[in-house]
């Protein structure tokens, strides 16, 4: 007997039912996988940096002028807006936005997979993505920082390109790029999809405009010269590999191994797809390759960089599973869920020693200064400013920008001469105009300590006296008239 086709009303109702059930599942899974993120006030220095930036901006500061970083402006603005609504004393609202970002990424991946391979594939893609999204050191996977907010924009770019919405795809690429420069890697598979689609040249113009106009707007809203310098031209020394080869290689191998463990359920079908080439997913392979290049750019291989690999991996695994028996999909999800559990336990139970140090240091800083005092924390943990609610004495929130240590360098290329070009004259002028009431040397034996930084050593010798020590960090108070 032939079955009558579904009416449009019944088809629409079925679609709504599918998405209602899937959204509920993915929302619960997003909340569970991000639950550890709410247990600590901070996970890593990037969150601290963003929090301090947001406070400075909220008090009338100007990005790339009164506070600087090597990143585009979108995430500092997001932090600033969140602080304006909810206050700047907690990152909980930002963590909620991170949950929503992960949920949005999963939903977009599910939609791409469902359009290509059917309902079951949509559920598989969204579920696999969220399960592997926690598969790194918790300070990388649970922090509400750049990569987490890149991912929904990159997924949106692919979603729009898959539907030939070229202007929207370009805007999504721009959003990813304005969150972090490496987010722009998704432009490569988007252009490939455009080429394969045979769309008219007008589509390419819409794509280019979608990318260029938001970037131009962001540059004009900040300072065009500063925007270009801090996001593109001023990071040459940071991207150098020289002097830290073994240190950086070990980090790359370690984080690759950790993510590979988290992807134990995904890698076998992906490897099979690579051997058989039956998935017809050239854009997804190109997305994975572009994301791998983005992880490699800069040659630092921090764990959170690897998050950019997870969306294309989830989709490639889903594509490969469609040509395998259904039991293989069940096995892939089950393995991913089992591997996810220890990563969640790691996030729930692992001690955060550097956070405890920063909290003790912030308490000492608050004790030795008044709320309106400016202070200088010479280290790589800007969260101390945020925890103590004190204003930095300089636009450079870490010693890394002034010594090139911010990339985790352990080799010889650390010191004043390796700083970002032009930073030391500005730094000296800032401290001369408004000397900090307290200086904290938080180098603790690292190669950017005052013994290797003559300008800082002279500053401390001429106008400061030691007044305390916290876990190896030394506190110097300004001498009257110094």
User: Where do the domains of the chain lie?
Assistant: 10-349, 353-478
The structure tokens listed for 77 are 């603005």
What is the torsion angle, in degrees rounded to the nearest 10, for the CA atoms of residue 408, residue 151, residue 119 and residue 320? -40
Per-residue pLDDT of the chain (482 residues; tens, 9 = 90+): 333 444 445 556 667 789 999 999 999 999 999 999 999 999 999 999 999 999 999 999 999 999 999 999 999 999 999 999 999 999 999 999 999 999 999 999 999 999 999 999 999 999 999 999 999 999 999 999 999 999 999 999 999 999 999 999 999 999 999 999 999 999 999 999 999 998 889 999 999 999 999 999 999 999 999 999 999 987 766 666 555 678 788 899 999 999 999 999 999 988 877 666 555 688 999 999 999 999 998 788 999 999 999 999 999 999 999 888 889 999 999 999 999 999 999 999 988 888 999 999 999 999 999 999 999 999 999 999 999 999 999 999 999 999 988 655 556 678 898 899 999 999 999 999 999 999 999 999 898 999 999 999 999 999 999 999 999 999 999 998 76
> What local confidence, expressed as pLDDT, does residue 243 receive?
58
**66 vs 49: CA distance, rounded Å:** 14
> What local confidence, expressed as pLDDT, does residue 1 receive?
35
List Cβ neighbours of 425 (8 Å cut-off, separation of 6 or more): none
CB 414 within 8 A of CB 403: yes
**73 vs 155: CA distance, rounded Å:** 20
> What local confidence, expressed as pLDDT, does residue 407 receive?
59
For 126, the 3-state DSSP assignment is: helix
The structure tokens listed for 189 are 């598979």
> What local confidence, expressed as pLDDT, does residue 352 receive?
81
- State the Cα angle at 329 between 323 and 332, rounded to 5°: 125
Residue 421 exposure: Cα atoms within 13 Å on the Cβ side: 9
DSSP letter (8 states) at residue 376? E
Residue 79: closest CA among 102, 107, 101, 53: 53
> What local confidence, expressed as pLDDT, does residue 4 receive?
43
pTM value is: 0.93
For 113, 185, 203, the CA distances from 307, given in Å and listed in that order, are 19, 13, 30
> What local confidence, expressed as pLDDT, does residue 150 receive?
97
CB 76 within 8 A of CB 239: no
DSSP letter (8 states) at residue 163? T
> What local confidence, expressed as pLDDT, does residue 278 receive?
56
> What local confidence, expressed as pLDDT, does residue 298 receive?
78
> What local confidence, expressed as pLDDT, does residue 351 receive?
84
> What local confidence, expressed as pLDDT, does residue 13 receive?
60
């Amino acid at each position: 007997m032939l079955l009558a086709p579904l009416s449009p009303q019944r088809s629409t109702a079925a679609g709504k039912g599918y998405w209602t059930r899937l959204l509920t599942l993915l929302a619960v899974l997003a909340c569970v996988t991000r639950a550890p993120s709410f247990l600590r006030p901070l996970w890593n220095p990037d969150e601290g940096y963003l929090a301090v930036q947001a406070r400075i901006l909220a008090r009338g500061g100007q990005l790339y002028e009164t506070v600087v970083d090597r990143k585009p402006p979108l995430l500092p603005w997001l932090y600033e807006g969140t602080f304006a609504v909810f206050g700047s004393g907690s990152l909980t609202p930002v963590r909620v936005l991170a949950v929503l970002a992960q949920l949005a990424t999963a939903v977009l991946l599910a939609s791409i997979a469902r359009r290509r391979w059917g309902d079951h594939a949509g559920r598989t893609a969204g579920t696999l993505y969220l399960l592997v999204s926690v598969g790194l050191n918790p300070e990388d996977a649970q922090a509400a920082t750049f990569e987490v907010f890149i991912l929904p924009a990159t997924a949106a770019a692919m979603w729009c390109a898959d539907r030939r919405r070229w202007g929207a795809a370009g805007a999504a690429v721009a959003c990813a790029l304005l969150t972090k420069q490496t987010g722009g890697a998704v432009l490569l598979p988007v252009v490939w999809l455009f080429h394969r689609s045979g769309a008219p040249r007008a589509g390419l113009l819409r794509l280019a405009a979608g990318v260029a106009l938001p970037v131009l707007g962001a540059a004009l809203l900040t300072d065009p010269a500063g925007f270009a310098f801090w996001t593109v031209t001023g990071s040459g020394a940071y991207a150098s590999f020289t002097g830290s080869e073994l240190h950086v290689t070990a980090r790359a191998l370690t984080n690759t191994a950790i993510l590979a463990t988290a992807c134990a359920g995904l890698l076998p079908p992906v490897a099979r797809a690579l051997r058989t080439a039956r998935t017809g997913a050239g854009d997804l392979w190109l997305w994975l390759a572009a994301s791998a290049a983005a992880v490699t750019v800069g040659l630092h291989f921090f764990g959170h960089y690897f998050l950019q690999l997870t969306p294309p991996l989830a989709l490639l695994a889903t594509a490969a599973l469609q040509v395998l028996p259904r039991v293989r999909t069940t096995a892939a999800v089950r393995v991913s869920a089992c591997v996810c559990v220890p990563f969640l336990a790691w996030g729930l139970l692992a001690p955060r020693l550097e956070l405890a140090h920063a909290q003790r240091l912030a308490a000492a800083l608050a004790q030795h200064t008044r709320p309106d005092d400016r202070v200088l924390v010479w280290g790589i943990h800007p969260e101390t400013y945020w925890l103590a609610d004190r204003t930095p004495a300089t636009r450079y929130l870490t010693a890394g920008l002034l010594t090139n240590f911010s990339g985790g360098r352990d080799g010889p290329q650390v010191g004043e001469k390796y700083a970002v070009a032009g930073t030391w004259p500005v730094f000296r002028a800032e401290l001369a105009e408004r000397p900090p009431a307290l200086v904290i040397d938080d180098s603790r034996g690292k190669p950017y300590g005052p013994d290797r930084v003559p300008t800082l050593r002279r500053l401390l010798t001429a106008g400061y006296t030691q007044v305390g020590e916290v876990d190896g960090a030394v506190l110097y108070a300004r001498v009257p008239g110094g």
